[in-house]
Amino acid sequence: MPQSRYYDSAINNWTFADTQTNITARRTQAVQALLTELCRLPDHDLVKIKGVSLLGELHHLFPDFEAGMGFDLPYRTTDYSPTSVKGFRDFLKGEFRRIEHLNRVLASDYRSFDDVQPPSRDIRSEPLQRYTEHIDSFAHGTLPVSGWAFVDSHKGSAPAWVHVYLNGTFVQKTLADKGRQDVLLAKPEFGSANTGWRLDLDFRRLQPGLHRIDVFLESSPGQLSALGAREISVMDKHQKTPLLVPQQPLPQHSPFSESVQAHIDQPRGQASYYYNPLVPFWHSFRAKQVVDYLRFFDNLVSQSCLSTTPHYTHQIIPFANPSWDENKFAIRSSLKVLDTQNIQLGVSLYGDASYGTSFAKWYSSTAHRNYGVTEFHPLKGMSGKELSRALDLHARRGASFLSFFVEPYWNNQIVDRGHNIFSFDPNNSKFGSDHLYKAMQIHLAEPKKYR
């Protein structure tokens, strides 16, 4: 993949499928040099080190990283190097032992594991040698039904529930309370980014054919208004012409209310979906690559005087953003409790994930008992009281530490360098960072004032 950009910084795509690379050798050299100097500190200073954050946000990359997190662009990820291909085949051997077992799961006829190619092509636009070469954002078997909805609170409307029906049958409902910073940027009059909604629809067992998805908004109890409908095609591997499946009557509902602004982002109208049973294994292997690379650097730290000091990951949680395709990052496995005693959970929390319910719901479903917040930014200004409330919530859940970006000053002058747009700084108005700087000052100066 070519060099790309992220907030005016260059991104050079690299591989962590193999630790025997020049960039990993240089990273290893830097880590060992730092550990050597730290371990020369006297004991009374060493005990002040409470944790080590491993690497930074470690995940797979993809084209147009700054804007390509969603579902609409052609699906391309790193990496398909010979090392990755061989690693994937070895991974499948470990999972299935015999090629006959894999063929049974995939309904394929591979002669050996060496014949398996990772999914890398889109059946809609590229020729395939085998159906199992197909991949896109949905080929693992689920599709997002997502969008945003804003109800004018000045008219007394309650928080909105979104109801999803498939072929006239109720599937599920979800609150329109997820973070959508892109919506707030486009419509600042909303005053809040928490307008997103999403649920994932498993289509693996749906019969091939045309299916209808209807979306309704419940802004007051029992009252549904139609947001829209999408007709989609669930395809088989032979790409037969899909026929409309039987439909059930829809629930009673009213027309779209003028007090509501909303949009259905996914699925797109007339979209087609292909399930490839090899893709979930490819995603699992890519996630294993992330964990293996983390373990490599954890082992370096474990050979130093900081071996018993807690080591933290430094990972994003992309599933907190309803418009992102989390599988592109392949970080799910690195967020689990890892089978090594010293690696603990460290997460970067932005927007609703830093103060709302999305991270809390996910965290309560895990076996983690403590964590660190490696990057923190609510993406909006907060008063001292609001910020203290958010920090107290993390403390009660078991957060060991919280960190955020600040700019370096020398002799009361800011150091001239490329500044981070997420820095808590009195001169940074982006995302309310100047207000957050003042709120954090208040909290640190008078930590009991708002408790």
Domain boundaries, the chain: 4-70+278-445, 82-133, 142-273
- Quick: pLDDT tens for 245-280: 999 999 999 887 777 899 999 999 899 999 999 999
- Quick: pLDDT tens for 172-181: 999 998 888 8
CATH code, residues 4-70+278-445: 3.20.20
Confidence of residue 158 (pLDDT cuts 50, 70, 90): low
Cis amide bond preceding 267, omega within 30? yes
How large a percentage of the chain has pLDDT more than 70? 97
- Quick: pLDDT tens for 386-428: 999 999 999 999 999 999 999 998 998 888 887 889 999 999 9
Long-range CB pairs of 129-132, under 8 A, 24+ apart, other chains included: 131/237, 131/276, 132/106, 132/108, 132/276, 132/277, 132/278
Is residue 146 within 8 A of residue 196, CB to CB? The reply is yes
| pLDDT greater than 60 at residue 49 | yes
Q: Which residue has the higher pLDDT, 151 or 256?
A: 151
User: Which positions ≥6 away from 355 have C-beta within 8 Å?
Assistant: 378, 382, 386, 389, 390, 393
- Output the pLDDT for position 12: 83
| pLDDT greater than 70 at residue 153 | no
As a whole number, mean pLDDT of residues 141-156 equals 83
Q: Which of these ranges, 73-77, 290-294, 343-347, 366-370, has the smallest mean pLDDT?
A: 73-77
| pLDDT greater than 90 at residue 111 | yes
- Output the pLDDT for position 233: 97
- Output the pLDDT for position 98: 97
- Output the pLDDT for position 341: 64
Q: Which two tokens stand for residue 277?
A: 């049973």
pTM of the model: 0.92
Query: Would you tell me how many other CB atoms lie within 10 Å of the CB of residue 430?
Result: 14
Is residue 12 within 8 A of residue 26, CB to CB? The reply is no
Q: Which of these ranges, 32-41, 75-84, 86-95, has the smallest mean pLDDT?
A: 75-84
Q: Which residue has the higher pLDDT, 158 or 120?
A: 120
Q: Which of these ranges, 343-347, 434-438, 444-448, has the smallest mean pLDDT?
A: 444-448
